[in-house]
Structures are given as C-alpha cells and as structure tokens.
Amino acid sequence: FVKVYTSIPVTINNGKENAIYLTGEFDSAEDYAGFCTLEDAVLKINSPKKGEKITLELDTDVSIFQFYNNANVAINKDIKIERSGLFEANSNSLAIFNGKVIGEDLIINSKSNSKISFISIDANTLKLGIEKGSEVILNGKTNTLKLDKDEDSKFIKDAFSFSSLYEALELNDEDTILAQGNKIYLKTQEFVGRPKHKRDSWKIDSEGNILTSKGDTISKAEALEEVEYNKLSNVCSPENANVLIGKNARVNIIFLDKDNIGEDYVSNYPIKGYVKGQLIVQDDYPLNLELTIRNDIGNITIMEGAEVNILSKINEKQRSYYLFKDAKLNFNQETKIEELSLGMNDG
C-alpha cells in the first residue's frame, strides 16, 4: 500500500529496489523526521518540516494507492495487479498515472474536489466513483464499467471504451427486496432512463381521479390504433398479454378508468415502456414498482418468480391472467370478474 499525506510534489518511478528520497535544504534531522513510515506493508508519506520534492522508487507492484491533503503525485511506472486494486484521490489531491495500469477488478475514486488521470488502463471490471467537484480522466478499456458519478463532477473518457455500463442507484431499505446495502448498480442499456430516486406516491380520490402524480407517464405509440391496442382477447395466452411482468419483478398495480388517468400508465420508477403494443416490466427489475394503468388493460402475464399485487377493486366483464412457475398474483381488494381466464404453468 502507498498512502500520501503531503502537498509536497511526489514522483513514483520504477526502481531496481524500493527506495525513497527527499530533496531540499535541511538544518537538522528534525526537518525530515517521520516524513515516511512503513508498518504492516503500508508505506505512508507524510509532510516533513522542510523539503521541496519526494521521489519514491519501487521494484514491486502496489495494489493500493491513496492520496490525501492536497497531494500532487505523478506515477511514472507500469502497474500490474493480478486481482483487485484501489486508486483513490481525496482532499483536493491530484494524481496522474503515466504508465500502463492492468488489473482484473479495479476501483477508482475521486473525492472532495480531487482529480485522478490514467494514460492507459486495462481492466476486466472497473468500479468508478466521482464525487461532486471531482474529476476522472480515463484512457484504455474495460469489459464492465460500474459508474457512480455526481452530476456536478467530470468524467472524461474520449479514449476509453467499455462493453457494459452499470450506473449506481441509492436505495432506501423499503425500496427493494433484491438489493443488498444502500446502493446497487443498474445496467444502463436495459433501462429507458436511470431511475435516480423514487417518486412520491400519487394521490387518488374516491372517484378514481389522480390528484397529484410525480411519476413517469408514458402513452402508447400514436401509430397504434385503439382497436389494435385492445385487440388482445380473453384467450388465456402469454403471447396475448397487454402487460408482461418480467421474471422476479415485484409490482403493485392500481386500475383506473382511462378517462381519469389520462395516460396509459404512471410508475414511480422508469421502466421499459411499450414494445409491440405490450407494456413491459424487465426481468429482474431491482425496484418495487407501483403502476397505475387503465382498467381496460385486462390481460396480464406474470413470468417466473414475479409477484403482482392488485391494490384496487375490480368489477369487470373479462380478465385474463397467465402465471409462470413460482409467480404470484394477489388480489387485495374486492374482485368481481364475469369471465375469468386463468392459466398457470409448471407450479
């Protein structure tokens, strides 16, 4: 481990052996006493009373670099990490990696108005955190990028490529039963937009009118004729669903008259939306969804492991539900359906 706690410029070079040098004019040993310590394989570089620059030569690879207290560090050596590594700039620090950095699982953090830059990085998985006022510059590539970026930070990646991008989402304990801890990462390509936070629940009066709604609203494509939109009949078939709930999703549904809702659905988090006339909730959606949809949307397919709670009263002529293995459908209010088609597949 290398930890830097000084604002004196520090240069880290490749060396034939591990060595550290302090350049400056000194009157006594007290001027440089304690400027570096080595304990439990952690090298700490502190601020001496006097000194102009510090040079560290390393003949071994280091897996953890941390910079604090207005540190100004240039790393001029290649770094190869077999498993995991951490690079962190904190407290108004600047760190520039001028060599090649290679690793399996790498973490880069830029905190408290700091800046960290890499001329070449190659990782299988890269977890990147950029706090408010901080900056990260990357050149190179990774297979999987997990990004936790404040809106008021900078991420410069003109010469950086990745195959999959996951973005961080902070959660409250009640937001999800799938997440562990208070932060998860969502695969960006699978979602319409990054659900940054949970919206306030909407209020509905006794007549079914929406009083307030801060949720996302999406209408069906204008090209879809009403007859085409409602062409799906009472035939109990997963292919004919108006609404498709993906595997392992958790969804609460409220039905409203289409004249009252004014939109096809309202949700407290963004979801995939309409695909070929079907309202889709993705597989393994990590958030507990609240959907308010038109009551003329009657055919719902619930995929493996998903659970749907119907929170409104139902008094309809026709309804069709199709449940795959380990799916659950709960009616929490009075329910009256004249013609009900119910299909259950393999448990």
For tokens 């001029």, what's the residue? 76
Lowest mean pLDDT among 108-122, 147-161, 195-209, 237-251: 195-209
Q: What percent of the chain has pLDDT over 90?
A: 35
For residue 198, is pLDDT > 50?
no
What's the confidence (pLDDT) of residue 123? Answer: 96
Integer Cα distance of 217 and 199 in angstroms: 12
Question: How does pLDDT run across 44-95, given as a tens digit for each residue?
Answer: 998 888 888 999 999 888 999 999 989 999 999 999 998 899 999 999 999 9
Distance, in Å, from the CA atom of 62 to the CA atom of 55, rounded to the nearest integer, reads 16
Rounded Cα distance between 247 and 238, Å, is: 13
pLDDT digits (tens, 9 = 90+) for 288-301: 788 888 777 768 88
Q: What is the pTM of this model?
A: 0.62
| Length of the chain as a residue count | 347
| Residue 128 CB-density burial (10 A; 0-12 exposed, 13-18 middle, 19+ buried) | buried
Backbone torsion region of residue 16, taken as left when φ is above 0, otherwise alpha when ψ lies between -120 and 50, otherwise beta: alpha
Q: What residue segments make up the domains of the chain, in order of their start?
A: 2-170, 203-344
Distance of CA 14 to the CA centre of its chain: 36
pLDDT at 320: 84
How confident is the model at residue 197, as a pLDDT? Answer: 43
Query: What are the φ/ψ torsions at residue 15 (nearest 5 degrees)?
Result: -140, 165
Over the range 28-39, which residues count as b (16 or more CB within 10 Å of their CB) and which as e?
eeeebeebbeee
| pLDDT band at 312; cut points 50, 70, 90 | confident
**214 has a pLDDT exceeding 60:** no
Please answer whether residues 125 and 103 qualify as being in contact, where contact means their C-beta atoms are separated by less than 8 angstroms: no
Spatial separation of the C-alpha atoms in residues 149 and 203, rounded to whole Å: 33
Mean pLDDT of 93-120: 96
pLDDT digits (tens, 9 = 90+) for 19-51: 999 888 888 888 888 888 988 888 999 888 888
Q: Chain-wide mean pLDDT for the chain?
A: 80
Q: 232: which residues sit within 8 A by CB, 6+ positions away?
A: 240, 241, 242, 299
The pLDDT score that the predictor gives to residue 347 is 61
